[in-house]
Amino acid sequence: MIVVGLGAMGSATAFQLAARGVDVVGLDRYAPPHVHGSTHGDTRVTRAACAEGAAYVPLAMRSHELWGEIERATGSDLFTACGVLMVGPGSGMGSMHGTDDWVGATIDLAGRFGIEHEVLDGAAARARYPMFAFDDAAHAYFEPGGGFVRPEAAVAAQLMLAERHGARLHLDTEVTALRSTDAGVEIDTADGTSFAAERVVLSAGAWLPSFLASPELRATFTVYRQVLHWFDVAPAWVDRVSVEQLPVYLWSFGAGATDFFYGFPALDGAEGGVKVATEQFSEATTADDVQRDVSVEEQQSMYERCIRGRMAAVDDHALRSATCLYTVTPDSGFVIDEHPELPGVLVVSPCSGHGFKHSAAIGEAIAERLVSGRSTIDLSPFELRR
């Protein structure tokens, strides 16, 4: 089998297939982990109660187990369970990834799945984490078992395991064409090498649209530029932002999907700053045309629109910023399904801004499905036509 794209999804899939004894070839246009796609920037939020829908909860929970197994197998540091604090402006408000009242939906799912959590009002959340100016009407959910995963290390570890199990990885090898044949799928690459396999997993992230011919199909996936910022820690708070003191935080301060920011504790001492980000869904781009540079005006706008007056621990000076790509579907759900135009190709597009936390379990489920015809975790909610 061939895996095209060895980022979050492709590295997990290549590892899980190879671990089941499958003969795996992996192809990537760059050398993952890299900064050109959707899987960079030091940290990704993970939480078991996923307001995006009940179908996601088993994937997140299984991934939490798998990060531990991969850490033990490789000696990598992947998952830090520093807790996740999610705050909404009040009942019925605050939308994220297609879910209205996402804090309420999270609380509901945590109850249904028996996920350890606490529910706090704004005053209690503020008393516990005084660097945030939550108002009294806010409602908050705290999941102690959540936290963050290191995406670059996770990709590197899974590619290492894939190779350990015999996978052959061809990096800096751009796939230029996929063709279905009677025997399976043929692949052309930019350096003139060809490959063929019975089955191909297409996990090309934000480049997926270039492998879709029909305009309607391509319109299912919209690529949005997102920006991550690392701001200085305000001097009064340098001793209170470590992973031992500060959880991951997500705060909807208004009703709109972009009245929102999230962030992480300081990972490398306060000198490295704290990473904070918001989301945007108004300006679409493509993986090849995206503006990679981040202007000082964008950094200032992030601070003024989201941070000022809300998070006292963050100073107004950005140390650095980075761009990253969301590949978003109309309902913000994943797509894991047969390619409608290319028999033999499985499309794996779990992004919409919330895919990473599920990636280890998605790789496992895809490998199970390709090897035995069915996966332990149900992937049918991610069919293209729904």
Helix (H, G, I), strand (E, B) or coil at 117: coil
Helical H segments across the chain, by residue range: 8-19, 57-74, 102-113, 122-128, 151-164, 215-218, 296-302, 359-372
Nearer to ligand FAD among residue 90 and residue 220 (C-beta): 220
Nearer to ligand FAD among residue 6 and residue 294 (C-beta): 6
Site stretch for ligand FAD (CB under 6 A), options 123-131, 193-201, 319-327, 360-368: 319-327
Count interface residues toward ligand FAD (CB under 6 A): 37
Site stretch for ligand FAD (CB under 6 A), options 128-136, 203-211, 311-319, 336-344: 203-211
Helix (H, G, I), strand (E, B) or coil at 323: strand
Other C-beta atoms closer than 10 Å to the C-beta of 226 total 18
Nearer to ligand FAD among residue 321 and residue 375 (C-beta): 321
**Judged by CB under 6 A, which of 270, 324, 342, 379 binds ligand FAD?**
324
Backbone region of residue 324 per phi and psi (left: phi > 0; alpha: psi in -120 to 50; beta: other values)? beta
If one asks whether residue 204 binds ligand FAD (CB under 6 A), the answer comes out as yes
Nearer to ligand FAD among residue 4 and residue 105 (C-beta): 4
Site stretch for ligand FAD (CB under 6 A), options 95-103, 124-132, 138-146, 354-362: 354-362
The two beta strands, 139-143 and 118-121, are antiparallel
Nearer to ligand FAD among residue 122 and residue 141 (C-beta): 141
Q: How many CA atoms lie within 13 A of 336 on its CB side?
A: 27
Q: How far apart are CA 323 and CA 229, in angstroms?
A: 9
**Judged by CB under 6 A, which of 3, 8, 274, 342 binds ligand FAD?**
8
For 181, the token pair is 């044949």
Backbone region of residue 354 per phi and psi (left: phi > 0; alpha: psi in -120 to 50; beta: other values)? alpha
Nearer to ligand FAD among residue 234 and residue 306 (C-beta): 306
Q: How far is the CB of 117 from ligand FAD (least distance, A)?
A: 18
Nearer to ligand FAD among residue 45 and residue 233 (C-beta): 45
Q: Give the CA-trace dihedral at 329, 262, 275, 246, to 10 degrees.
A: -140
Q: How far is the CB of 323 from ligand FAD (least distance, A)?
A: 8
**Judged by CB under 6 A, which of 45, 138, 159, 233 binds ligand FAD?**
45
Give the closest residue to 263 by CA, choosing from 273, 271, 254. Answer: 273
Name residue, tokens 């939020």.
Answer: 45
If one asks whether residue 220 binds ligand FAD (CB under 6 A), the answer comes out as no
Binding residues for ligand FAD (CB under 6 A): 4-10, 27-30, 32, 37-39, 41, 44-45, 174-175, 203-205, 207, 226, 228, 277, 324-326, 350-351, 353-357
